[in-house]
Structure 1
Amino acid sequence: MSAKNTFGSQAAKAFCANLYTTWLSEDENVERIRDMLSRMLALSAAAQNLEIGAKKGKAADTDALNNGAWHSDPAVGLSTSSTAIDEDADPGQSPRPTPPQRSNKSAVLKSADDRTPSPIQPSTSPCTVARFAGGVDELDYPHRAGSPVVTPTSPQPKPIVDPSAPLPYVSSGSVSPQRAHSLGSPRLDSTLNAVMVSGDLAVPLDPSTSLSMTARESTTRFVHTAGSFAVTPPANLKQATLEDIPCFYSKRESCGLQIENDSEEAQELNRLLEKNDSVKKTVWVFGDISSKVFKVPIWYKEALFTDIATRCGLDAATADTLAAAQIRTVYSDVYASLSASRRLYDLICTHPQKEFITLSDLESMGRYLVAAHPGLQFLQQPEFQEYYWHTVAVRIMYMLERQQCGRIYWRDFDRSDLPDRMMDLDTKDVNLVLDYFSYEHFYVLYCKFWELDTDRDLLVGFEDLCNYGQGSVVTGAIKRVVEGYGRPLSSGVPGKMDFADFVYFCLSEEDKNSEPAVLYWFKVLDTDEDGVLSGYEMMQFFEENQQRFLEFSDSPEGDIAYEDTMCQMLDMVGFDRVKVRKCGVTLGDLRSCPTPANFFNMILNASKFLLFEHRDPFGEHQIRMRVEKTEWDRFARAEYDRMAAEAQ
């Protein structure tokens, strides 16, 4: 077969493959397509047989001419011809060696063009079966060298098999045909981007026959040489719309709005109000409405009652009863479209546009907690009540605010665990919730501040703060703390810290692994305020800590060099990050460090660092198995137990 005929045969097969996949989805075209393919295959097979027969005859004549010079009878076998010797030849001469017999197949292959696929290659025929059933054999790929897609001179790209292309299937009766991929409308003036890999093109019409196909009757697959898959589906294939594809992000969710209203909440509201035309805020019915419908904790139900009364035009200070219609109206118009976290955020926030929560908003929430929670009824003195809700508000602001801005935005509130902890407070024991609301934690903070405030002016100065932790913190860091470098002081008195400032300091000192603590101590160490901790800045604080290392060391003669300490600290934060930048340690380096507390303790607190160096690994595992998960929780538990033992 010539190169021209081969090119035309390959183009015809690719063209038929395009028609086959495009029209197979319609039942009325199945018989027509199969008949057309059968005729083409029969004509192609007949032409190939004629050409192969002619070439075989030509090869036989060539072998006969070549063998005639050495053998008298071409029909003699190899053993006879190899032992035949000319009688007239010289006996002294050695017999001339007989060349090996050449096969017809090798002659045909040699005579054909190297760039033209041989007609006897199994991969050139569309009826030839692939070696692997239901798949594509990579060894069969070179048969496309003569196709319109891949030319002999161009590099052959690796074939890309469309895994989503289904097997061609022909239905009968009422069974709908299996969907097939389409390559679009055929265009003779464009380059084809897909060909059919060898396989059985004539799929039987009987479904039972198609199910019992053997490995040698495997169907075809599409192999795309250009790397692009079929994009035009058949006409009877239902296409997916944007509504069918689930959205993983929506603007409504980012604003705290629900995509769909919860029907269970509406049903629960109707069930609770079906026998009550009006509801008082003190009865249990409104408590169930608050927790089960509005997703507001029971101890915060009075704030919900006030909000509903205000929206209905009632005086919240004197109103004591709400009508069922008023509750339904406010729920359907305002709260039904909000998520549970957004409902709590709007109740806490007093800003007109609900942009952020301030410290005063959190203190108001604390007042509701002290007044309604049964576990805090022992706080009868107004002074202790005020300190408690002020401590709760400061702790929430400490953990949720962004860059010490004094505001909590909706995004920070939604990402935090505060909504879950507020719902957990419906338990009787408030100390079971360790985050934000624990009375034991408040007691430890209040007692620590009271121990340092010797003059009882509710302010702590430099000398007072140097006594914290038995003087374990270096004085250079204490000086910068009271000057307001760690956090802008809220006391209003230069060099003096009030209770809120002390809470920030104590939480940051006892749990240096938290993100607010990392920012706090980074600002303390950054003396030039350039955003980078240089070796000179850290050395100023390490010189005092170095003397404490010598005091606590077993061998006072052995001095700890600052260079060795710096190498260890850089290994903690990741030396590769610092080496590339070549300018020092940044806030991002410390936040990416798993244990930034060890980094800060090497500079600021020698006793805590030595405790870490001499820790018991088995005891450390037992400590982590306890309820207290953070360093602050463990510190507060130990201090509260110590204070309780001393009080007895």
Structure 2
Amino acid sequence: MRVKDLSLRQDPDVRKELALLARGCDFVLPSRFKKRLKAFQQGQAGCLNAQVKKEEPITPVLSESIPKFYFPRGRPPANLNIDTLISRIEKIFSQFPNERVTIEDMGKVAKACDCPLYWKALLFLSAGGDRTGSVSVHKFVAMWRKTLQTCHDDASKFVHILAKPGCNYLEQEDFIPFLQDVVNSHTGLAFLKEASEFHSRYITTVSRHEALKLSLLNFDSVGVLPQNVALLEEVEDVNQLTEYFSYEHFYVIYCKFWELDTDHDLYIDQRDLAQHNDQAISQKMIERLFSGTVTRDKRVLKEGLMSYADFVWFLISEEDKRTPTSIEYWFRCMDLDGDGVLSMYELEYFYEEQCQRLEAKAIESLPFEDCLCQMLDLVKPEVEGKITLRDLKKCKMSHIFFDTFFNTEKYLDHEQRDPLSVIRDETEGQDLSDWEKYAAEEYDLLVAEETANEQYRDGYGNAFNQMEDHISSDASLRTDKRHLFAIPSPHCSLDLDEYEYEEDFE
């Protein structure tokens, strides 16, 4: 409602009074002026009320109208009938005496639960089977019903079943019973089953991860382990599962460690590690590796010794510096003051020894200022002059950056390589990771070396032995080829059975 023009200035009496007021004269408002003033005030108030009525109050959005979008344990399935699933499980248990199932028959129960076959050990232990040697239907149903009600995807179920009671994360020792069952029952590892002294080494290699505690928040960073476990049932050759279970990868890692561990006490010191790859790694970086920055075993700081578990991560990170895990590994080593930034001082600290090693090979090195310009152009840090972990993870040539500062041999390989091939790898990507390429090449070399040694031994024996009965029978044994993935043979009297799993995870 718009009030008609009630301007006081249009009234002649009011104009006269206003003129007197402007001259400083006191005056008494006439009754007409009072009436006009009152009408004017009422009209203005009416306009304000009309405006207030037109402004509709904003109704707050109710929380019920926003659908839930965060499911830390997976999105609940819409059509899951828990009672039907439990009935199917009870039917499987009824096939066994007293409705109790042992670990040998747990595979049928795992399939009834719609779980991968190799979850059988997880389910058995989670239901308390390790205490009695068997699981009753009532205990298992109670455990599985609770799991279905709280966990709605494979990752959350895997963590819930495998973790210790009351924990929502996994530690490396939690994987031991599960992986031991894989070793005992997978057909692709049948040749390893009898060599129990190597079980702990294989399990230590498979259960590798940089995180001390593995929760659902960082579960995707480990290569989606539940999917890899499911593939164990479909793939007979474990070497195709390069994320975790490849025996070839274990073979390469263990043989490399065995070559450095000259006294075969399952620990190596700085002098041993310096021999890796013909002393390619600088001494300053070797010292950083033994400073406790990236190692977990307490003996590193107390006695200056690196365990096999720590060596696993060293070798994988050394041979593939493109992965997020290896970038974090080497960044921590180069970040001397731990401030989260690689300063020019820290880069010069490592590059100084690199120059000395190049000069020892009669190779002229770049001045640090020129090298620094190249590396800054390579990484393109967000803040000028400061290289962060985020910068290196965004950079697709982090391996060139790290090798420039502490690996002489690989630095020279990068310098001599065709720049076009580097750009092509960056744009097109790779079918195999650097680690998978290295492991495949080293495995072929190790197998070829072992085959040549066997042929030499066979030829040496044939040259000095005649065709006698006991000799011919021995020769027939030698003609039976060892399994292609034969385990390394210890060359000392060390009893590996005395070596405890837990030592790798302290």
Residue 450 of structure 1 and its aligned partner are, at CA, apart by: 0.3
Take 2:295 and 2:268, find their aligned partners in 1: how far apart are those partners? Answer: 15
Unaligned residue ranges in structure 1 (runs of 5+): 6-186, 194-227, 233-239
The aligned counterpart of 1:567 is 373
Take 2:221 and 2:280, find their aligned partners in 1: how far apart are those partners? Answer: 35
The aligned counterpart of 1:605 is 407
Is 2:331 the partner of 1:517? no
The one of 219, 238, 241 equivalent to 1:430 is 238
Residue 490 of structure 1 and its aligned partner are, at CA, apart by: 4.0
Contact 1:486 1:520 in 2 (8 A): yes
Is 2:227 the partner of 1:420? yes
Residue 442 of structure 1 and its aligned partner are, at CA, apart by: 0.9
Residue 248 of structure 1 and its aligned partner are, at CA, apart by: 1.9
- Within 5 Å, which residues of 2 pair with 1:547-562? 547-549=356-358, 556=363, 559-562=365-368
Contact 1:460 1:498 in 2 (8 A): yes
The one of 230, 247, 260 equivalent to 2:68 is 247
The one of 47, 51, 68 equivalent to 1:190 is 51
Deviations 1:582-614 (A, max 9, x none): 5x3233332332322111111111322332344
What is the TM-score of this pair, normalised by structure 2? Answer: 0.68
Amino acid at match of 1:640: Y
Q: 1:476 to 1:192 in 2, by over 3 A?
A: same
Take 2:112 and 2:104, find their aligned partners in 1: how far apart are those partners? Answer: 12
Is 2:77 the partner of 1:263? no
Take 1:370 and 1:275, find their aligned partners in 2: how far apart are those partners? Answer: 26
Residue 387 of structure 1 and its aligned partner are, at CA, apart by: 0.8
CA RMSD of the aligned region, Å? 3.6
Is 2:243 the partner of 1:440? no
The aligned counterpart of 1:646 is 449
How many residue pairs get aligned? The number is: 398
Take 1:336 and 1:514, find their aligned partners in 2: how far apart are those partners? Answer: 36
Task: Report which of the two structures shows the higher radius of gyration computed on alpha carbons.
Answer: 1
Residue 471 of structure 1 and its aligned partner are, at CA, apart by: 1.3
Residue 336 of structure 1 and its aligned partner are, at CA, apart by: 3.9
Take 2:338 and 2:242, find their aligned partners in 1: how far apart are those partners? Answer: 35
The aligned counterpart of 1:636 is 439
The aligned counterpart of 2:38 is none
The aligned counterpart of 1:384 is 198
**SS state of the match for residue 268, structure 2?**
coil
- Within 5 Å, which residues of 2 pair with 1:140-539? 189-190=50-51, 245-249=66-70, 253-254=71-72, 256=73, 258-260=75-77, 262-263=79-80, 267=84, 270-271=87-88, 273-274=90-91, 277-279=94-96, 281=101, 286-291=106-111, 293-295=113-115, 297-308=116-127, 310=128, 316-320=130-134, 322-323=136-137, 327-339=140-152, 340-350=154-164, 352-379=165-192, 380-393=194-207, 395=208, 397-398=209-210, 401=211, 406-413=212-219, 416=222, 417-426=224-233, 427-491=235-299, 493-539=302-348
Deviations 1:611-633 (A, max 9, x none): 234445569659978752x2212
Contact 2:82 2:148 in 1 (8 A): no
Contact 2:267 2:305 in 1 (8 A): yes
Contact 1:261 1:337 in 2 (8 A): no
**SS state of the match for residue 569, structure 1?**
helix
Residue 456 of structure 1 and its aligned partner are, at CA, apart by: 1.7
Take 2:187 and 2:239, find their aligned partners in 1: how far apart are those partners? Answer: 12
Take 2:76 and 2:126, find their aligned partners in 1: how far apart are those partners? Answer: 24
Is 2:398 the partner of 1:578? no
Contact 1:345 1:410 in 2 (8 A): yes
Q: 1:294 to 1:262 in 2, by over 3 A?
A: farther
What is the TM-score of this pair, normalised by structure 1? Answer: 0.54
Amino acid at match of 1:578: V
Contact 1:265 1:293 in 2 (8 A): no
Contact 1:366 1:390 in 2 (8 A): no
Amino acid at match of 1:643: L
The higher relative CO (CA closer than 8 Å, separation ≥ 6) is in: 2
- Within 5 Å, which residues of 2 pair with 1:47-62? none
Deviations 1:560-588 (A, max 9, x none): 1111100111112214x232xx5x32333
Amino acid at match of 1:502: F
Deviations 1:530-575 (A, max 9, x none): 433222222222122224445778xx5x541111100111112214
Take 1:275 and 1:359, find their aligned partners in 2: how far apart are those partners? Answer: 32
Q: 1:494 to 1:523 in 2, by over 3 A?
A: farther
Take 2:149 and 2:105, find their aligned partners in 1: how far apart are those partners? Answer: 19
Q: 1:413 to 1:508 in 2, by over 3 A?
A: same
Residue 334 of structure 1 and its aligned partner are, at CA, apart by: 3.3
Amino acid at match of 1:457: D
Deviations 1:495-549 (A, max 9, x none): 2211112112112211222223222222322333443322222222212222444
Contact 2:341 2:389 in 1 (8 A): yes
Take 2:387 and 2:254, find their aligned partners in 1: how far apart are those partners? Answer: 35
Residue 270 of structure 1 and its aligned partner are, at CA, apart by: 3.7
Unaligned residue ranges in structure 2 (runs of 5+): 5-47, 452-506
Take 2:427 and 2:265, find their aligned partners in 1: how far apart are those partners? Answer: 38
Deviations 1:279-337 (A, max 9, x none): 56469985354145253x312303312323x3xxxx644444643x6554443333343
Take 2:402 and 2:426, find their aligned partners in 1: how far apart are those partners? Answer: 25
The aligned counterpart of 2:493 is none
Q: 1:625 to 1:600 in 2, by over 3 A?
A: closer
Contact 2:343 2:387 in 1 (8 A): yes
The aligned counterpart of 2:398 is 596
Percent identity at matched positions?
Answer: 30
Residue 638 of structure 1 and its aligned partner are, at CA, apart by: 1.2
Q: 1:284 to 1:475 in 2, by over 3 A?
A: closer
Deviations 1:333-357 (A, max 9, x none): 333431221211122211x321332
Q: 1:460 to 1:412 in 2, by over 3 A?
A: same
Q: 1:450 to 1:263 in 2, by over 3 A?
A: same
Contact 1:291 1:298 in 2 (8 A): yes
Residue 636 of structure 1 and its aligned partner are, at CA, apart by: 1.0
Take 1:322 and 1:430, find their aligned partners in 2: how far apart are those partners? Answer: 33
**SS state of the match for residue 479, structure 1?**
helix
Q: 1:438 to 1:321 in 2, by over 3 A?
A: same
Deviations 1:101-146 (A, max 9, x none): xxxxxxxxxxxxxxxxxxxxxxxxxxxxxxxxxxxxxxxxxxxxxx
**SS state of the match for residue 565, structure 1?**
helix
Take 2:249 and 2:266, find their aligned partners in 1: how far apart are those partners? Answer: 19
Q: 1:330 to 1:390 in 2, by over 3 A?
A: same
The aligned counterpart of 1:87 is none
